[in-house]
Amino acid sequence: MNMTNNSVVSDPTPFLALPNPLFVVLLYRYGLGLLFLLGFTGNLASMATFMQTALRVTSTGFLFLILAFSDSLFLLVSIFDFIEVGLIQGPILLANYDSLCRFRWFSKGFIQFCSAWILVFVTIDRWLRTCFPFKANKWCTHKNVIIVTICIIIIAISLHSHMLSAQFFGRYQPGIATIACGPIQFTGSYIDFYFTQWPFIQVFFVCLIPVTVMLLGSIAIPRTIQKTKSRIQTIGTNQPQQLRQARLHRQMLILMISSIMIFFVTTLPVNLRQIVGAYEVSTGQNTDINKIVSDTAILTVLLSLNYAIIYRLAGGTTGNNAININHTMMPSVANGNAHTNIRHNQPPT
């Protein structure tokens, strides 16, 4: 691997970068601490909301429940960084550091992949319900959600399995933010793969494809709703119910767009920085390791926002809207009327 800093390739010393700058320590101490407070309480509140029977029976609510659980796991794994960088300001548990590295880095990559693609299938679920309302009950089921989730997990494990290998992955720069773990050998093909190719793979599967699908969904859903408005008629509904349903559609669209924006704003910068760093390394440009570490540390905290505030901004809206629509529809079901209050005009026969 070509690098201008030859010590990165040949020097066996375990410490190549300077200690974490003070602002990085403070950012991890207070920034992550605040995110943990907001994230854990927000995700727990969201899980409590989506575990309600009226919400849990829907595929969308089930997906949001899984997403809240996944985001909580990411924050839980990040506690180690909070303690090591923000509090202790040095490596901890060195006797088991290699094993911890494999667990931490694999878990973070695995959870990022799962959270991104679960959010993608939330978008797909809403698109199916909008474009194919009569087939939604057949396609958007708990069984299919479980199948999709299992497929996501299998792909995520396969994609990140190289981080579980004791021959390749372990401690790299213990105690240094964002590079505490990495290739255990400073020469060979794996270190070249990890620093020059792996960042592009991560960006492609964890950021670019999910964002593209979510953006297409956010464009297609309102267009479909607009096209079908003239073919929808209400039956037995009063004006307040019609207004509530219209407000629900509008707020669900806002929820989707806000979720996509949070995901895009928090994940794209760190992925772009990784790509720039990988390009600099692969082309042999002069690289300042400490600057890369500092930049990536800041963006990593920004990334954690995606797992901490998305439910503060959006999850409550989803829960409240779902509760409202269920309260609107439940009386008709209780009275023995299993039909919903909205139907599409059928073509004349």
User: At residue 286, does pLDDT exceed 90?
Assistant: no
- The mean-pLDDT minimum among 11-15, 145-149, 176-180, 201-205 falls in 11-15
- Of 82-91, 167-176, 335-344, the range with the lowest mean pLDDT is 335-344
H-helix or E-strand spanning residue 300: helix 289-305
Q: With contact defined as beta carbons under 8 Å apart, do 101 and 169 qualify?
A: yes
Name the nearest CA neighbour of 251 among 326, 315, 321, 309: 321
Domain ranges across the chain:
18-344
Beta bridge partners of 343: 233
Note the pTM of the prediction, 2 decimals: 0.78
18-344: which CATH topology? Rhopdopsin 7-helix transmembrane proteins (1.20.1070)
Position 195 pLDDT exceeds 90: no
Per-residue pLDDT band at 92 (split at 50, 70, 90): confident
Residue 278 phi, psi (nearest 5): -65, -40
CA atoms of 73 and 70, how far apart (whole Å): 5
